[in-house]
Copies of this chain bind each other. A is one copy, B any other.
């Protein structure tokens, strides 16, 4: 049996863990929910138990390492999370140290969107390239940047916070202190908010707005048009900066691609000479919810891992 690693994807709703071998083959998976209301220690217990279960079944001998993807800014050198809006109890808590203590093994932490980008590079839409950017459209917008096959971290591991790129200088206010962050104009949440503003309804999800657009509702279509434009401004900037071959989108609003992509591409065409002169693909990510799990499992196999373990 070849080496395997254990990846954990800790989200605000779901907690998943998987054993994946060095060729990207999923050996075993455990899926549960994140019991935030039970408190931080209970969530950490659940993670550690999932890892231990997989390790017991597949053996310690071939285990390369453990990687965990989780939301928030991760200060890589300290192994702590800051700014995780969905899991305030984890803020400034030495989560890596605590898990390592309970597990009796080293673990590698990574921001969830970075892990998803790495997963797409390893086994998803980015398999053929070494450089890509992923935007994950959800409650907010996460970002992951892969350069030369590795996650770009920056000095404290805070690189790739692409949800907070300014696309409308005096646009919607954001909890980060800015106005006009792309996540306030193009996330699933932003689609719901725009639908409400335009009188479509008070509690529509981005899926509901998508259904309305499919039924021919013009205001629903306008909502996706606005969302596409905002995404396009951010993507044009990213393309001008990186000149990468591939930019991926993932998340709940993806099925509405045909409604938002034309406006998005039109903005990119107009705003990026580089896009018009380089073979640049803007595509859907292919691993869906599994991207983060694959990326977390890839961490022990990647270059970063060699430095970290």
Interface, chain A (partner B; CB < 8 A): 73, 82-83, 131, 143, 145, 147, 152-162, 164-169, 176-179, 233, 236-238, 240-245, 270-274, 276-279
A240 touching B157 by the CB < 8 A rule?
Answer: no
A244 touching B166 by the CB < 8 A rule?
Answer: no
A241 touching B155 by the CB < 8 A rule?
Answer: no
How many copies of the shown chain assemble into the complex?
Answer: 2
A155 touching B244 by the CB < 8 A rule?
Answer: yes
21 contacts between A and B (CB under 8 A): A73-B274, A73-B277, A131-B155, A147-B147, A152-B242, A154-B243, A154-B278, A155-B278, A158-B274, A159-B241, A161-B240, A162-B240, A164-B271, A168-B169, A169-B169, A177-B273, A178-B271, A178-B272, A179-B270, A238-B241, A241-B241
Cα distance, A25 to B156, chains bound together (Å): 33
User: Which B residues are CB-close (under 8 A) to A233?
Assistant: 166, 169
User: Which B residues are CB-close (under 8 A) to A274?
Assistant: 73, 154, 158, 161, 164
What is the minimal beta-carbon distance from A263 to any residue of chain B, in angstroms? 13
A166 touching B237 by the CB < 8 A rule?
Answer: yes
Given known A166-B233, A277-B82, contact A244–B161 (CB-CB < 8 A): no
B271 touching A241 by the CB < 8 A rule?
Answer: no
* 15 further contact pairs, Cβ within 8 A, besides A168-B169, A177-B276: A73-B273, A131-B155, A147-B147, A159-B244, A161-B243, A161-B273, A164-B240, A164-B272, A165-B240, A165-B241, A166-B167, A166-B237, A178-B270, A178-B272, A237-B237
What is the minimal beta-carbon distance from A129 to any residue of chain B, in angstroms? 9
What is the minimal beta-carbon distance from A276 to any residue of chain B, in angstroms? 8
Cα distance, A131 to B145, chains bound together (Å): 15
Closest 8 CB pairs of A and B: A154-B243, A159-B243, A158-B243, A178-B271, A176-B273, A158-B274, A161-B240, A155-B245
- Pick from B153, B178, B243: contact of A243, CB below 8 A: B153
A155 touching B82 by the CB < 8 A rule?
Answer: no
